[in-house]
Amino acid sequence: MTKRNHWLVAAAAWGGGVALIAACRTNASDSGPIDARATERKAVDAAPPVPPTPPVPLAPPVPLAPSAKTALDAAPPRFEAGREVLPTDFYDEFEYRSDEDGRNTTANPAAIGALKSGQTKYTSYVNERYGFSLDVPDPFRPMPEPTNGDGRQYRLGKLAVMTASAMYWDQNGFDGTCPASDHVIARQETAKTCFATGKARGYIFWQRAVIVHSTMYSLAFQYVESLKEAMDPVVTHVNASWAF
């Protein structure tokens, strides 16, 4: 079968001029018209297959950095009156002198009964180093006095504890020491005073601190929730008697 080149030209005369409509050169056989789509399919079929694109592997999850702080300590800071308030939690007062073997770890039933009777008696305590004073409920027993003489702690076994102390303080305000964690139910902080109360680990916490002449005076209570009714008047009495 012989092949020949064809020039296909279509022209149309219009308005005395000639417009070229289409021109193409084809290489065809004598057998008939050219099927361009069939030629295109053959070219595609003859091309080497394109390998599939491998999936992009997902990045492994980034492990959280280990931290010795609790979730409360890691909570984001908040602001009050334009100042950053760090989420400081209540200090566990029972950690003081925790190395004392069995000292004041069991409450005397008679002392508990006296506290719950609502007829609690008090004895005055005066701190010689810093000059503050307050009334101490008689059912509470004293812990050993610290060697630096900065205050005293009193306990009712593991049921309740009261700590009164003072320290030299040259910071501007409380420098984030006033409790402000999610355990806090009520709080008030100024440049010279801090008050916070709340619940955590089965205990009720009550804390007050005052800065006077570069000295911070602190008074703190911690007691089991079941003693709330008996301790409320005790906290009120001791707080009213606290002088510095």
Please list the residues that pair with 211 across neighbouring strands.
216
For 131: left if phi > 0, alpha if psi spans -120 to 50, otherwise beta; the answer is left
Query: Alpha carbon 234 to chain centroid distance?
Result: 33
Task: List the chain domain ranges.
Answer: 3-43, 78-241
pLDDT value for 204? 96
Distances, alpha carbon 113 to alpha carbons 78, 106, 161, 167, in Å: 43, 14, 16, 35
pLDDT value for 50? 59
Closest Cα partner for 94 from 239, 198, 222?
Answer: 222
Q: Cβ distance 228 to 236 under 8 Å? A: no
Closest Cα partner for 122 from 237, 7, 243?
Answer: 237
Answer positive or negative: Cα dihedral of 103, 106, 108, 113: positive
Joined tokens for residue 89 = 């939690």
Element (H, E) at 4: strand 3-14
pLDDT value for 38? 58
* Radius of gyration from C-alpha coordinates of the chain: 43
pLDDT value for 109? 87
Question: How would CATH label the architecture of 78-241?
Answer: 3-Layer(aba) Sandwich (3.40)
Joined tokens for residue 186 = 């009520």
- Positions in the chain short of pLDDT 50: 2-32, 58-75, 99, 101-103
